[in-house]
Amino acid sequence: MRTVYVIGTCDTKGAELRYAVERVKAAGAKALLVDISTTPSASDAGITPEMVARHHPKGADAVLGLAGRGRAISAMGEALTAFLLSRDDIGAVLGLGGGGNTAMVTQAMRALAIGVPKLMVSTMASGNVGAYVGPTDITMMHSVADVAGLNAITRKVIGNAAHAAAGMALNEVPAVVENKRPVGLTMFGVTTPCITQIRALIEDICECFVFHATGTGGQCLEKLVDSGFIGAVLDITTTEVADHLFGGVLPCTEDRFGAVIRTRVPYVGSVGAVDMVNFGGRETVPSQHAARNLYVHNPQVTLVRTTPDENRAIGAWIVARLNCMEGPVRFLLPLGGVSAIDAPGKPFYDPVADQALFAAIRAGWRAADNRMLIDVDTHINDPAFAEAAVKAFRDII
């Protein structure tokens, strides 16, 4: 039986952590208390702070007794990450705490493989949890009352979390063996027709994993590529680059395309939805964009049409990353438009801006035996484009 690792700082939350251990065991699972206190204290946990700290690359002295709470939290998070990665009996990880605990435990959780159950009971869970969850499958559970004493609320919340963690540890999800190549695809609402057509054309030989290009979506795809879970990519929707360069709310990171560069997996890409920078509700759009071509997608999402100059910058950024790829690469330019609202009669139709994008990619492209740049004289959502993308994909796999 694999073990539920119950993790937190026993110097401030000992009673709550021991209650979680008690409830895990009552549910029939094994439990191990891991103490990640950063202040000196006697610990009777199964895993003491000293035992965790020894996994830091620079040893325990680099973790315990550091001046400054922020430095200590960062160092303990690094040590906990190495500790968990060294274990081979993890059935689930359950963390409890406030800001500091949440930062340390979720840092370590993010290093674990997708599919390992991860549940964080946190005071931070009612807000923006993107920094804690990242591109992983961490479940954030709001503690409601602070994790600062056992009472009618915290007993119920912690008990429910403990029972959930025990259930996940005791009930492994059956594996379904698909004798197909796992392939990652990127999609946005405005490129959905394209991806739907591509999926229909390749599902006979591929198991398709579609990622919503919301910044985190691209990171999830690349994490799975880095881990070896996904062995080929149809990265049709690279809109996250536009948000990264021009202040949108769904940005990629500087490491976009990095997993493909590192692993050299077969890659087919395009410029889907780079005609837009994403913001929240209309009132959130920065004042300097007030006179721009805006499109209210829904009450929570407003799009700003990219200009020719912005498209040149987007094209230059993308092509610089493509030139670093040493695996098989095909990159397609949809000359008839890059999104559902970039077509004749649609609000973002702007051939001049699109041509600036295409010209920048062509100008920066470094020819190589493994890379091919392909013009497709149609719109990105037309069947002909999907067929061209699938042909390129089949050619390189």
Average pLDDT, integer, range 187-203? 97
Residue of 44, 34, 51, 102 whose CA lies nearest to 73? 102
SS (H, E, C) the chain: CCEEEEEECHHHHHHHHHHHHHHHHHCCCEEEEEECCCCCCCCCCCECHHHHHCCCCCCHHHCCCCCCHHHHHHHHHHHHHHHHHCCCCEEEEEEEECHHHHHHHHHHHHHCCCCCCEEEEECCCCCCCHHHHCCCCCEEEECCCCCCCCCHHHHHHHHHHHHHHHHHHHCCCCCCCCCCEEEEEEECHHHHHHHHHHHHHHCCCEEEEEEECCCHHHHHHHHHHHCCCCCEEEECCCCHHHHHHHCCCCCCCCCCCHHHHHHCCCEEECCCCCCEEEECCHHHCCHHHCCCCEEEEECCEEEEECCHHHHHHHHHHHHHHHCCCCCCEEEEEECCCCECCECCCCCCCCHHHHHHHHHHHHHHCCCECCEEEEEECCCCCCHHHHHHHHHHHHHHC
218/205 Cα distance (integer angstroms): 23
328/305 Cα distance (integer angstroms): 32
- What tens digit of pLDDT does each residue of 307-329 get? 999 999 999 999 999 999 999 99
Token pair in block for residue 202 = 């390749």
Q: How confident is the model at residue 64 (pLDDT cuts 50, 70, 90)?
A: confident
Average pLDDT, integer, range 164-178? 91
Lowest-confidence region among 60-69, 73-82, 120-129, 230-239: 60-69
Domains of the chain: 3-170 (3.40.50.12020), 181-396 (3.40.50.12030)
Checking if the pLDDT of 223 tops 70, the result is: yes
Total number of residues shown for the chain: 397
pTM over 0.85: no
- What tens digit of pLDDT does each residue of 93-119 get? 999 999 999 999 999 999 999 899 999
